[in-house]
Amino acid sequence: MSNPVIYQALGILLILFFLFLIYMFTKTWRWFHVLCAFCVFGASIGFICCAAMSYRTHAAWRTLELKSRQQRENLEAEYALLINGDLAEIVQTTKSIRRSNAEFARLVFDRGRVWRSCIPQAPQANGTVVVGTIPADAAGGEAPTSSQMIQKMILYAFLEDVAPADAGVPPDTRLPAIYLGEFTATTVTPTSVTLQPTLPLNVNIQPKPGATWTLYETMPVDGHNFFAADMNDIPDLNEDAEVSPVFGTIDPAFVDTYIKMPQRLQNQTDTEYQQVQAAHTALLDMYKRDGKRGDPDRDPPDNVWMKVLFTEERSVDVDSGAVLGGVEGSQTFFNQGLAEIPLLQRGGQAKFKPDQIGVFPREDAERLIAEGVCDPGENIYVRTLNDYEYQFRSNHLRMVRLRQDIERMQHNMQKITETNARTETQIAYRTQEKGKLIQDRDKFQYELAEIGKYQGQLEQVLSVTKAELSRLYRSNATLEKELDRMSNELTEKIDRRTREAVAEAG
């Protein structure tokens, strides 16, 4: 009976039958009654048509309303599921918007703002460099937007490079690769920023063609789950830590890819390189064991935490009572692990119910066990997180000092080389002078030998002469004595004869 032709035929028959009745009524009814009956019948047909159309419209809208209501209920349920997750699950496996917002807020808080694909210009003599903050691949028709930088802002610059093929990012994606240094913004425009190094530069920041920088407002931070195969994976604390690590399953290949063995340095001994290999292996072991079972006898006490199973309800303070502003922190955060930044605070105590599992530092876990509120579980190894801001700054300063030491040593070596060259010149001159002196010595020795021979001859002649002179002296002395004797004798004879002559004359 759903064929509309049948209803149309019945309607026509009914109209014909009514017209037949009207015609018959005209014989006994007055014309006014016949006219009223005809009008009522026409109005009834109109009413039936309007009622049918209204019913059809009502039925259509009612069906649509029921369908829309069902869709609304489904959307509300889906909305609640997306906002809060499945409230019937104890361990949430459905990712919710609240959780995603918290994760995003934590990532943004840890990372800060980032300006990628910045185009550096050639640096000036004092190290100042102008960097364009509009990405190199930005559409030409788009109007430049403000970089939202401010003067005196501290920025950390990294040189970008094409990501490796196994990085899990789209091809030709450029990622930060080399740390350039710490800079402060001196001049800011909507499309560029002038950077001044806060520390002496360690690397050459002369940009190559096509080079791009990444500027970080906050130095990237370390995290336990950054090397996990799935950062959003929720571990099952009821499982063994070797099966379900606390911080997610670490991908060893991913760790090996990004923490590579350092290359052997020139002039590095086998023993020194073996020490480097051992340190690298220990570093890889720290990352791969993070969140797995710990060994109190082997691992440092600060790196050993403990799983505990609560036997009764317990509330634990997780928010700090310190009144802070911005991202300022205090020592309480480091000593007790309390959340101080409002963005990270829970807004109340964390409540543990019986049969729930928690992971605490070993000292806190032992205190809870001593209070009798929980039972001990397995030990968990928790690696010490790196403070990249301090380490990059410290390593940067060390490398700057090493570079300065190298430059100073090279300068000293250059001076020593120049001095050595001058010394060699003097040695050559002195060697030549020595050769001449040796020749002079040989000649002198020859002359000395000849003079010695001549001296011997002269000494021999001198000896003969002395002997002859001695003989002559003795002969002369003898002759002198003889002459004195003869003179005395003659004088005596003359005197005697004179006396005799005088005597004879007298």
In this structure, is residue 479 part of a structural domain?
A: no
Give the pLDDT score at 7: 67
Across the range 219-227, mean pLDDT stands at 82
Which residue segment(s) compose the domain that 25 sits in?
4-84
- Under 8 Å between Cβ of 329 and 320: no
Is the pLDDT at 203 greater than 70, yes or no?
Answer: no
Place of tokens 């020490």: 275
Judge if 307 and 374 occupy the same domain: yes
In a domain, 35, yes or no: yes
Residue 87 pLDDT > 80, yes or no?
A: no
Q: Are residues 111 and 30 in the same domain?
A: no
How many domains is the chain partitioned into structurally? Answer: 3
Write down the pLDDT at residue 233. Answer: 74
Asked whether residue 324 falls in the same domain as residue 364, the answer is yes
* φ and ψ of 294, to 5 deg: -100, 165
Rounded Cα distance, 448 and 206, in Å: 74
Residue 60 and residue 106 in one domain: no
Judged against a pLDDT cut of 60, whether residue 114 lies above it is answered with: yes
pLDDT at 61 over 60: yes
- The residue ranking higher by pLDDT, 51 or 109, is 51
Asked if residue 349 and residue 307 are part of one domain, the reply reads yes
Q: Is residue 456 part of a domain?
A: no
Using 50, 70 and 90 to split pLDDT, how confident is the model at 204?
low
Does 225 map to a domain?
no
Same domain, 185 and 153: yes
Predicted pLDDT at 140: 47
Residue 480 confidence (pLDDT): 86
Q: What is the pLDDT of residues 461-498, one digit of tens each?
A: 888 888 888 888 888 888 888 888 888 888 888 888 88
Shared domain check, 362 and 325 = yes
Per-residue pLDDT, 144 = 52
Phi first, then psi: give them for residue 331, nearest 5 degrees.
-65, -20
9-43: pLDDT as tens digits: 777 777 777 777 777 777 777 777 777 877 877 77
Is residue 407 assigned to a domain? no
Tens digit of each residue's pLDDT (9 = 90 or more) over 257-272: 878 888 888 888 889 8
Quick check: 291 and 380 in contact, CB under 8 A?
Answer: yes
Quick one: pLDDT at residue 143?
47
Q: 363 and 317: one domain?
A: yes
* 241 within a domain of the structure (yes/no): no
The CATH number given to whatever domain includes residue 349 is 3.40.5.60
Q: Is residue 40 part of a domain?
A: yes
CA distances for 495 relative to 181, 268, 380, 484, 500, angstroms: 134, 122, 152, 16, 8
Q: What percent of the chain has pLDDT over 90?
A: 10
Same-domain check for residues 101 and 196: yes
